[in-house]
């Protein structure tokens, strides 16, 4: 089986970013900051519907060595991409305008732009900077490598520009808003905000219950190891893209469906079902369009699954997650995958094979995670079975002539911040 992709220790990640900085810019950085990738346990395609989701921060992080400049130039180098890219903060603008920036630098420089647009820093006050990036978050794997980059730059600029937002959750929520704005407007990816919240607001040892309607969070203790469980991440290596049309189309159909139902967002429909005011069938009967009906069925049921999983995890934290409580969590993961596959239609053959094979080889539950159309799946497995499940997925992929998958173990880790090592 392919080896588990280990997370870098902070000291190692920081040393890599520092070395790249010195080799590229011939100077020492002011400091190194890092932000994690994420996996979502449940609550998929709910964030842009004002719904609930339950991500964790991964131990895999993106490291940014950065030094402010006296001008408004941004120079960027990445260990994962060739060349040095230069961006002028005074001409940088949204995707589709003359100030558009192509490729990965949009996610980094876009944060400086968005901090000003969000009013978190005065216009023209965020300094230019030199930055070197290195990361052990696999790119294009649906594990939010883009949000990790944005959020690492955000905490770095928060420090060097003296914004003082990173010290508490309220400030971090505002940094997350700026990162979402950078991603939506500068990079042109119409994503929902879960990823940036996970990278900035999750805590080690906890899943983050995020209410996307008002941005409220609750830290849900999650100690899978104490329950003898491992959350195995299967990166299918099927390329996943959020800037192509499918993700944006899902979002539009949901907005149209909310309009047809006469509610501000599909969250209202989910709440009405939750409180017993209506039933899922009655909601769907109000819609004429088959595509809208399928998407709404997913979103409403998925928000319900977040509620029931959180209720179980709250009653049975750590080692008490066993028996029927564990069965409920596991079957919630399975039901989420089925709903994403059948109703939301964002799965793909690689994700389905990963999920089916993991289940057939002893996983308690499994589902795709993230935006879909490729990317990663998660499988909740007894810790002693993780290698066996991964080996079975490896074999199944080889037999199907898919690219070899990669595996990570997801342990709820710390959010973005300075690396003191
Ligand atoms: C991607 C987006 C998120 C979210 C998920 C689906 O990861 O970046 O905002 O919508 O897809 O849950």
DSSP 263: S
Q: What is the pLDDT of residue 3?
A: 72
| pLDDT tens column, 73-82 | 999 999 999 9
> In DSSP terms, which residues pair with 231 in a beta bridge?
380
In the numeric block, the tokens 């969000």 are attached to 118
Q: What is the pLDDT of residue 240?
A: 64
Active site residue 195: yes
Q: What is the pLDDT of residue 262?
A: 98
Q: What is the pLDDT of residue 318?
A: 83
Q: What is the pLDDT of residue 421?
A: 64
Q: What is the pLDDT of residue 101?
A: 96
Rounded to an integer, what distance in angstroms lies between the CA atom of residue 193 and that of residue 210?
10
CA dihedral 63, 65, 70, 71 (to 10 degrees): -50
Same domain for 284 and 351, yes or no, is: yes
Residue 146 lies in a domain: yes
| pLDDT tens column, 387-419 | 999 999 999 999 999 999 999 999 999 999 999
Counting from 1 in the atom list of ligand 1, the atom nearest the Cα of 247 is 11
The last residue of a domain, from among 186, 221, 256 = 221
- Angle ∠(234,49,267) on CA atoms, nearest 5: 115
Residue 183: give the domain boundaries.
Answer: 10-221
Share of the chain above pLDDT 70, in %: 98
Under 8 Å between Cβ of 140 and 103: no
| pLDDT tens column, 248-285 | 999 999 999 999 999 999 999 999 999 999 999 999 99
Same domain for 318 and 180, yes or no, is: no
Q: How far is CA 288 from the centre of its chain?
A: 33
SS3 (DSSP) at 85: strand
Residue 348's alpha-carbon distances to 42, 69, 144, 263, in angstroms, are 18, 45, 19, 31
Q: With 80 as the cut, is the pLDDT of residue 242 above it?
A: no
Same domain for 382 and 234, yes or no, is: yes
Which residue's CA is the nearest one to ligand 1's atom 1? 371
Which residue's CA is the nearest one to ligand 1's atom 8? 191
Question: With bands split at pLDDT 50, 70 and 90, how would you rate the model's confidence at 290?
Answer: very high
Q: Does residue 47 line the site of ligand 1, with CB under 6 A?
A: yes
Ligand 1 midpoint to CA 192 (Å): 6
Where residue 264 sits, what CATH number does that domain have?
Answer: 3.30.70.890
Same domain for 148 and 247, yes or no, is: no
Residue 23 lies in a domain: yes
| pLDDT tens column, 74-121 | 999 999 999 999 999 999 999 999 999 999 999 999 999 999 999 999
Rounded to an integer, what distance in angstroms lies between the CA atom of residue 357 and that of residue 92?
46
Ligand 1 midpoint to CA 147 (Å): 10
Q: Does residue 194 line the site of ligand 1, with CB under 6 A?
A: yes
Under 8 Å between Cβ of 358 and 339: no
Q: Does residue 270 line the site of ligand 1, with CB under 6 A?
A: no
The last residue of a domain, from among 221, 243, 263 = 221
Q: What is the pLDDT of residue 20?
A: 98
Q: Does residue 189 line the site of ligand 1, with CB under 6 A?
A: no
Same domain for 167 and 254, yes or no, is: no
Average pLDDT, the chain: 96
Residue 347 lies in a domain: yes
- How many domains, in total, are found in the chain? 2
Q: What is the pLDDT of residue 214?
A: 97
Ligand 1 midpoint to CA 194 (Å): 6
Same domain for 353 and 258, yes or no, is: yes
Which residue's CA is the nearest one to ligand 1's atom 9? 192
Where residue 93 sits, what CATH number does that domain have?
Answer: 3.30.230.10
The last residue of a domain, from among 196, 221, 246 = 221
Q: Does residue 195 line the site of ligand 1, with CB under 6 A?
A: yes
Q: What is the pLDDT of residue 420?
A: 85
Which distant-in-sequence residues (6+ apart) come within 8 Å of 301 by Cβ?
A: 280, 335, 339, 343
Ligand 1 midpoint to CA 67 (Å): 31
Same domain for 174 and 297, yes or no, is: no
Same domain for 271 and 168, yes or no, is: no
Ligand 1 midpoint to CA 370 (Å): 5
Q: Does residue 45 line the site of ligand 1, with CB under 6 A?
A: yes
Query: CB neighbours (10 Å) of residue 275?
Result: 8
| pLDDT tens column, 302-334 | 999 999 999 999 998 888 899 999 999 999 999
Alpha helices (runs of H) in 166-205, residue ranges in sequence order: 169-181, 194-201
Q: Cα-flanking dihedrals φ and ψ of residue 119, to 5°? A: 75, 20
Residue among 43, 404, 383, 413 at smallest CA distance from 212: 43
Catalytic residue (choose from 195, 235, 385, 394)? 195
Which distant-in-sequence residues (6+ apart) come within 8 Å of 78 by Cβ?
A: 104, 132, 133, 134, 135
Q: What is the pLDDT of residue 275?
A: 98
21 is written with which tokens? 């900085």
> In DSSP terms, which residues pair with 68 in a beta bridge?
129
Counting from 1 in the atom list of ligand 1, the atom nearest the Cα of 47 is 10
Q: Does residue 302 line the site of ligand 1, with CB under 6 A?
A: no
| pLDDT tens column, 152-162 | 999 999 999 99
Same domain for 216 and 238, yes or no, is: no
User: Once rounded to an integer, what is the mean pLDDT over residues 3-23?
Assistant: 96
Counting from 1 in the atom list of ligand 1, the atom nearest the Cα of 43 is 12
Residue 342 lies in a domain: yes
Residue 420 lies in a domain: no
User: Once rounded to an integer, what is the mean pLDDT over residues 374-382?
Assistant: 97
Residue 53's alpha-carbon distances to 49, 110, 167, 265, 395, in angstroms, are 11, 25, 24, 15, 32
Q: With 90 as the cut, is the pLDDT of residue 4 above it?
A: no
Same domain for 124 and 231, yes or no, is: no
| pLDDT tens column, 167-214 | 999 999 999 999 999 999 999 999 999 999 999 999 999 999 999 999
Same domain for 193 and 251, yes or no, is: no
Q: What is the pLDDT of residue 239?
A: 77
Residue 305 lies in a domain: yes
Q: With 90 as the cut, is the pLDDT of residue 133 above it?
A: yes
User: Once rounded to an integer, what is the mean pLDDT over residues 212-222?
Assistant: 97
Residue among 103, 104, 101 at smallest CA distance from 89: 101
Residue 5 lies in a domain: no
Same domain for 191 and 286, yes or no, is: no
User: Once rounded to an integer, what is the mean pLDDT over residues 29-34?
Assistant: 98
Residue 285 lies in a domain: yes
């Amino acid at each position: 089986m392919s080896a588990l992709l280990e997370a870098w220790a902070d000291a190692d990640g920081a040393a890599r970013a520092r070395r790249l900085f010195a080799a590229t810019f011939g100077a020492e950085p002011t400091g190194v900051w890092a932000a994690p990738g994420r996996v979502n346990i449940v609550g998929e395609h709910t964030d842009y519907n004002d719904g609930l989701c339950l991500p964790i921060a991964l131990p895999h992080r993106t490291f940014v060595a950065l030094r402010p400049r006296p001008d408004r130039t941004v120079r960027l180098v990445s260990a994962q991409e060739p060349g040095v890219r230069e961006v002028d903060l005074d001409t940088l603008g949204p995707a589709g305008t003359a100030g558009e920036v192509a490729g990965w630098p949009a996610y980094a420089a876009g944060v400086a732009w968005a901090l000003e647009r969000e009013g978190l820093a005065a216009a023209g006050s965020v300094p230019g900077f030199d930055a070197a990036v290195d990361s052990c978050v696999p790119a294009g794997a649906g594990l939010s490598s883009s949000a990790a980059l944005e959020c690492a730059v955000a905490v770095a600029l928060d420090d060097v520009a003296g914004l003082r937002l990173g010290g508490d959750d309220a400030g971090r929520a505002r940094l997350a808003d700026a990162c979402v704005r950078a991603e939506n407007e500068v990079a042109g990816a119409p994503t929902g905000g879960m990823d940036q919240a996970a990278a900035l607001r999750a805590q080690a040892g906890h899943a983050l219950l995020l209410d996307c309607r008002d941005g409220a969070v609750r830290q849900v203790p999650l100690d899978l190891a104490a329950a003898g469980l491992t959350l195995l991440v299967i990166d299918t290596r099927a390329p996943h893209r959020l800037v192509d049309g499918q993700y944006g189309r899902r979002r539009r159909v949901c907005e149209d469906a909310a309009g047809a139902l006469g509610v501000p967002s599909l969250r209202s429909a989910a709440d009405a079902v939750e409180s017993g005011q209506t039933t899922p069938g009655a909601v769907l009967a109000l819609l004429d369009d088959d595509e809208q009906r399928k998407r709404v069925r997913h979103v409403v049921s998925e928000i319900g699954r977040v509620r029931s999983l959180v209720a179980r995890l709250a009653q049975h934290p750590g080692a008490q997650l066993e028996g029927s409580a564990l069965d409920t969590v596991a079957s919630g993961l399975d039901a989420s995958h089925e709903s994403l596959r059948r109703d939301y239609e964002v799965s793909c053959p690689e994700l389905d094979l990963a999920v089916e094979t993991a289940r057939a080889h002893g996983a308690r539950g499994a589902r795709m995670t993230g935006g879909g159309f490729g990317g990663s799946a998660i499988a909740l497995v007894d810790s002693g079975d993780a290698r066996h499940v991964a080996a079975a997925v490896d074999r199944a992929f080889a037999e199907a002539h898919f690219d070899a998958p990669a595996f990570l173990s997801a342990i709820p880790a710390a959010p973005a911040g300075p690396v003191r090592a």
